[in-house]
């Protein structure tokens, strides 16, 4: 008899707990960032957190550049009752694992900044992507250089009509790095300027490494380099330090350096006249668009949209049934850098 | 060696003595061989500018490797070295931003006399060193684990430090000229007769560390602890005290290295110093420091660091692709150590 009673009590408890789950679901977004010590992603994260403040509950996790860890974090979000996920993938090619988890619980998924393959994106209708078209950042770098080259005939040091350049790449396995490298040069060539690559090496997005590689480039190509392309600001600024050590930016000795990101130190370098131009990957707008989509999905809004940019297809064409939001890049040079100082 | 009384010329140059010399100094020969080879293929590698630049880069790395090297000789290890360098770099950088720089970490920072920010950076290293030493010596946590812990803590601490209101995480730039002069300036009579400050500092540190290892009781104790812990205890060495000292010294050196790194590169981010501990350990081991403890010299560590940086610079100057650079570096690390280790294995 006692045993039966115990079983009944236990059953009652189980139902009581199960009943709790039936209560109206509080909207909640689980956010995972591929790693916290990436400067750009911390701007994105700051904006997501600022936008969500007092509006919706957020749980933000650091995936520490570890995809299995991120998968565990997604499991945790799902068991804690997240109603939407905003995931900055560690390894974009491994998206299917996370997508399957979300799909099984019918929790919509917003991916951002690190883009998965379009074929993976097509596998489910509740998955969105927010990011920038990396090609565009390269193209804009090239355009800044073209404008400078045309306005300054003396930039062609050896007067051969060709633009001799060196390229500081980010992590070569990263698609942004590949696109920036490829499309910056393509934009120059498309403008009818022939180019010659003197050196290309990876500095892994790192300022110190870029400074060291640039010094070696200068040694190997003394007086021949006409333009320096860097895949991001940290590397561009490292290159500038190496150039300073080699006597550039004093008197008339100048070297055009272009990079991407428009970080505060890069804006400072624009003001000092050492950096020719940078391209802003708009972290604030990326964070805002990510939040907009995640919020709409988490609260079950009828219309999924963001004021940052319209929904579009993978190739960039605007389409209300699309699942992509492409946040535009912005060219930042001496003329407009003041607008971006925060 | 002491029993050789002024050998004749023929004896001095016989095959055996050459072999002995080359096995003893294998690592120096590797360094010279590398420099000659790279210089032969691309002569600009040997230009004064480039060689001085390699020494500038090596300065920071040498200071880190010395700190690590002393610890390795006690049969310990220090994985926290790199991230501690990074922590010191962000701290010092945040305190020497130009007053007119727009996005200062501390918007209302007054103009501090240079020694204060430098002390703050070194103090950060000192604190990590104290924690390492205490955990290893008193709590008996294996150094690999203890310093793995402080590595992660230092990484977290530098991110916490950078990621603060009102601006949130961002690279730290706009450093004062008097500070960056430490890394990029020179000391001397005029422009032609001057030595880069950073190289001078590294040389002084090298000299002090050499004296510490060779001429002081602490140095002898470090070798004793690493060579045979039980024997050291029996012969009355205060193991705890000496261990703490060597970790604290390491921490101070990482702090100083972080300060110099920020000065040389003119900025800092929270991923500064990432993986530097592995480079430092590899350089020390290439330079003949045994990871089993008890063996290693300051000169060897210097050679190891130079081999590393000559390779880093030389491969780029030669235009070797980034992927091949890694392969070549890996091969040279392993073969340099394989060559060097023969002088120890023969003795046994």
Conformational region of residue A195, where left means phi above 0, alpha means psi within -120 to 50, and beta covers everything else:
beta
Q: Which of A152-161, A245-254, B307-316, B327-336 has the lowest mean pLDDT?
A: B327-336
The helix or strand, by DSSP H or E, that contains position A148, with its residue range, turns out to be helix A134-151
- Which pLDDT belongs to residue B104? 87
- Closest chain A residue by Cα to residue B48: A219
Residues composing chain B = 348
- Which pLDDT belongs to residue A17? 56
Runs of H (alpha helix) within B115-238: 115-137, 143-162, 177-184, 197-215, 217-227, 229-234
DSSP type of residue A25: P
In this predicted model, what pLDDT tens digit does every residue of B113-132 receive, in sequence order?
A: 999 999 999 999 999 999 99
Average pLDDT over residues B247-260: 97
- Which pLDDT belongs to residue B9? 54
- Which pLDDT belongs to residue B337? 77
User: Residue B23 forms beta bridges with which residues?
Assistant: none
- Which pLDDT belongs to residue A40? 81
Q: Do A26-132+282-328 and A135-280 come out as alike in CATH topology? A: yes
pLDDT tier for residue B292 given thresholds of 50, 70 and 90: confident
Query: What is the dihedral angle through the alpha carbons of B239, B242, B248, B252, rounded to the nearest 10 degrees?
Result: -150
Percentage of residues in chain B having pLDDT higher than 90 = 69
Interatomic CA distance for residues A157 and A166, integer angstroms: 14
In this predicted model, what pLDDT tens digit does every residue of A266-316 receive, in sequence order?
A: 999 999 999 999 999 888 999 999 999 999 999 998 888 999 999 999 888
- A219·B184 Cβ contact <8 A: no
Interatomic CA distance for residues B180 and B195, integer angstroms: 15
Residue ranges of E strands in chain A: 28-33, 57-62, 84-87, 109-112, 127-131, 162-169, 194-202, 227-230, 257-260, 277-280, 311-312, 324-326, 330-333
Q: Which of A97-101, A240-244, B319-323 has the lowest mean pLDDT?
A: B319-323
- Which pLDDT belongs to residue B4? 46
Interatomic CA distance for residues B252 and B120, integer angstroms: 11
How many CA atoms are closer than 13 Å to the CA of A244, on its beta-carbon side? 21
The alpha carbon of residue B15 is apart from the nearest alpha carbon of chain A, in Å, by 39
Angle, vertex CA A13, rays to CA A10 and CA A19, nearest 5 = 145
CATH pick for A135-280 out of 3.40.50.720, 3.30.360.10, 3.40.50.2300, 2.40.160.20: 3.40.50.2300
Percentage of residues in chain A having pLDDT higher than 70 = 92
Q: Are A76 and A102 in contact (CB under 8 A)?
A: no
Percentage of residues in chain B having pLDDT higher than 70 = 92
3-state SS assignment for residue B167? coil
Query: What is the dihedral angle through the alpha carbons of A203, A205, A210, A213, rounded to the nearest 10 degrees?
Result: 10
> Which chain A positions have a beta carbon within 8 Å of B314's beta carbon?
216
Is the pLDDT assigned to residue B16 strictly greater than 80?
A: no
The alpha carbon of residue A194 is apart from the nearest alpha carbon of chain B, in Å, by 22
In this prediction the ipTM stands at 0.85
> Which chain A positions have a beta carbon within 8 Å of B318's beta carbon?
220
Q: Are B87 and B94 in contact (CB under 8 A)?
A: no
- Which pLDDT belongs to residue B8? 55
Q: Which of A104-108, A277-281, B102-106, B340-344 has the lowest mean pLDDT?
A: B340-344
Nearest to B147 by CA among B72, B62, B228: B72
Q: Are B343 and B336 in contact (CB under 8 A)?
A: no
Where does B44-345 sit in CATH, by number? 1.10.3470
How many CA atoms are closer than 13 Å to the CA of B219, on its beta-carbon side? 13
Interatomic CA distance for residues A163 and A227, integer angstroms: 7
pLDDT tier for residue B348 given thresholds of 50, 70 and 90: very low
Query: How many CB atoms are closer than 10 A to CB A306?
Result: 21
Q: Select the residue of B167, B169, B316 nearest A201 (Cβ to Cβ).
A: B316
pLDDT tier for residue B3 given thresholds of 50, 70 and 90: very low
Where does residue B280 rank: exposed (0-12), middle (13-18), buried (19+ CB within 10 A)?
buried
Nearest to A240 by CA among A265, A263, A219: A265
Q: Are B249 and B231 in contact (CB under 8 A)?
A: no
Q: Where are the domains of chain A?
A: 26-132+282-328, 135-280
Average pLDDT over residues B185-212: 90
Query: How many CB atoms are closer than 10 A to CB A169?
Result: 24
Is the pLDDT assigned to residue A22 strictly greater than 60?
A: no
Q: Are A327 and A131 in contact (CB under 8 A)?
A: yes
| Sign of the alpha-carbon torsion through A178, A184, A187, A189 | negative
For A2, residues 6+ apart whose C-beta sits below 8 A from its C-beta are none
> Which chain B positions have a beta carbon within 8 Å of A244's beta carbon?
184
Position of tokens 């730290």? B172
Nearest to B141 by CA among B79, B199, B83: B79
- Closest chain A residue by Cα to residue B89: A208
Q: Where are the domains of chain B?
A: 44-345
Is the pLDDT assigned to residue A13 strictly greater than 80?
A: no
In this predicted model, what pLDDT tens digit does every residue of A179-217 receive, in sequence order?
A: 999 999 999 999 999 999 999 999 999 999 999 999 999
Conformational region of residue B141, where left means phi above 0, alpha means psi within -120 to 50, and beta covers everything else:
beta
Interatomic CA distance for residues A24 and A6, integer angstroms: 30
Average pLDDT, chain B: 89
In this predicted model, what pLDDT tens digit does every residue of B24-63 receive, in sequence order?
A: 778 898 899 999 999 999 999 999 989 999 999 999 999 9
- Closest chain B residue by Cα to residue A202: B322
Interatomic CA distance for residues B188 and A324, integer angstroms: 60
| Sign of the alpha-carbon torsion through A85, A88, A92, A97 | negative
- B265·A211 Cβ contact <8 A: yes
The crossing angle, in degrees rounded to 10, of helices B239-265 and B81-95 is 50
> Which chain A positions have a beta carbon within 8 Å of B170's beta carbon?
39, 42-43, 263-264
- Which pLDDT belongs to residue B170? 81
Interatomic CA distance for residues B31 and B306, integer angstroms: 7
In the sheet that holds A162-169, the strands lie side by side as: A194-202, A162-169, A227-230, A257-260, A277-280, A330-333
| Sign of the alpha-carbon torsion through B324, B330, B335, B340 | positive
3-state SS assignment for residue A192? coil
3-state SS assignment for residue B226? helix
Conformational region of residue A65, where left means phi above 0, alpha means psi within -120 to 50, and beta covers everything else:
left
* Range 149-188 of A in CB contact (< 8 A) with B: 169, 172
Interatomic CA distance for residues A125 and A108, integer angstroms: 9
Residue ranges of E strands in chain B: 186-188, 194-196
- Which pLDDT belongs to residue B2? 45
Where does A26-132+282-328 sit in CATH, by number? 3.40.50.2300
- Which pLDDT belongs to residue A183? 96
Q: Are B260 and B183 in contact (CB under 8 A)?
A: yes
In this predicted model, what pLDDT tens digit does every residue of A67-87 receive, in sequence order?
A: 999 999 999 999 999 999 999
């Amino acid at each position: 008899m006692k045993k039966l009673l115990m079983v009944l009590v236990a059953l009652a408890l189980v139902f009581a707990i199960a009943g709790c789950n039936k209560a109206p679901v509080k909207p909640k977004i689980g956010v995972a960032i591929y790693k916290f010590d990436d400067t750009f992603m911390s701007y994105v994260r700051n904006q997501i957190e600022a936008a969500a403040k007092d509006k919706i509950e957020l749980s933000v996790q650091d995936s520490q550049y570890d995809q299995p860890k991120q998968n565990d974090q997604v499991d945790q979000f799902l068991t804690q009752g997240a109603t939407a996920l905003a995931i900055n993938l560690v390894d974009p090619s491994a998206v299917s694992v996370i997508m399957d988890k979300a799909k099984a619980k019918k929790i919509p998924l917003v991916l951002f900044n690190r883009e998965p393959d379009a074929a993976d994106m097509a596998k489910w209708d509740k998955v969105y992507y927010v990011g920038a078209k990396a090609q565009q950042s390269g193209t804009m770098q090239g355009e800044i250089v073209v404008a400078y080259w045309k306005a300054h005939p003396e930039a062609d040091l050896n007067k051969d009509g060709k633009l001799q350049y060196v390229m500081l790449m980010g992590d070569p396995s990263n698609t942004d790095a590949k696109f920036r490298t490829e499309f910056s040069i393509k934009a120059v060539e498309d403008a009818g300027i022939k180019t010659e690559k003197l050196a290309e090496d990876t500095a892994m997005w790192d300022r110190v490494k870029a400074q060291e590689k640039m010094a070696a480039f200068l040694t190997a190509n003394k007086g021949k380099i006409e333009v320096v392309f860097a895949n991001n600001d940290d590397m561009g600024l490292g290159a500038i330090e190496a150039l300073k050590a080699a006597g550039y930016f004093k008197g008339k000795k100048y070297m055009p350096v272009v990079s991407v990101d428009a970080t505060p130190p890069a804006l400072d370098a624009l003001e000092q006249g050492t950096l020719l131009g940078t391209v802003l990957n708009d972290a604030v707008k990326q964070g805002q668009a990510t939040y907009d989509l995640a919020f709409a999905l988490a609260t079950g809004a009828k219309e999924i949209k963001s004021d940052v940019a319209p929904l579009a297809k993978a190739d960039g064409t605007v389409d209300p049934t699309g699942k992509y939001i492409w946040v535009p890049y912005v060219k930042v040079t001496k003329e407009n850098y003041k607008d971006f100082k925060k | 060696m002491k029993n050789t009384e002024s050998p004749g010329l023929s004896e001095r140059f016989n095959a055996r003595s050459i072999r002995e010399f080359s096995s003893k100094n294998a690592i120096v020969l590797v360094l010279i061989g590398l420099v000659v080879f790279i210089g032969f293929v691309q002569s600009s590698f040997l230009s004064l500018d480039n060689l001085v630049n390699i020494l500038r880069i090596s300065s920071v790395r040498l200071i880190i490797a010395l700190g690590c090297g002393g610890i390795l000789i006690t049969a310990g290890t220090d994985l926290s070295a790199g991230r501690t360098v990074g922590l010191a770099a962000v701290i010092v950088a945040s305190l020497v931003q130009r007053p007119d720089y727009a996005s200062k970490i501390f918007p209302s920072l007054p103009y501090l006399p240079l020694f204060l920010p430098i002390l703050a950076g070194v103090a950060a290293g000192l604190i990590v060193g104290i924690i390492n030493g205490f955990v290893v010596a008193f709590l008996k946590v294996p150094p690999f684990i203890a310093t793995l812990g402080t590595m992660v803590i230092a990484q977290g601490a530098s991110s916490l430090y950078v990621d603060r209101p009102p601006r949130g995480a961002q690279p730290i730039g706009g450093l004062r000229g008097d500070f960056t002069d430490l890394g990029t300036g020179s000391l001397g009579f005029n422009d032609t007769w001057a030595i880069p400050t950073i190289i001078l500092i590294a040389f002084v540190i090298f000299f002090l560390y050499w004296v510490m290892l060779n001429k002081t009781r602490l140095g002898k104790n470090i070798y004793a602890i690493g060579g045979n812990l039980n024997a050291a205890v029996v012969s009355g060495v205060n193991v705890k005290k000496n261990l703490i000292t060597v970790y604290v010294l390491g921490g101070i050196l990482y702090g100083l290295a972080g300060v110099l790194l920020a000065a040389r590169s003119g900025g800092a981010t929270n991923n500064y110093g990432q993986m530097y501990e592995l480079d430092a350990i590899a350089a020390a081991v290439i330079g003949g420091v045994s990871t089993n403890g008890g063996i290693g010299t300051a000169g060897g560590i210097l050679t190891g660091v130079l081999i590393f940086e000559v390779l880093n610079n030389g491969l780029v100057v030669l235009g070797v692709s980034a992927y091949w650079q890694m392969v070549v570096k890996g091969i040279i690390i392993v073969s340099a150590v394989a060559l060097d280790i023969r002088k120890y294995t023969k003795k046994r």
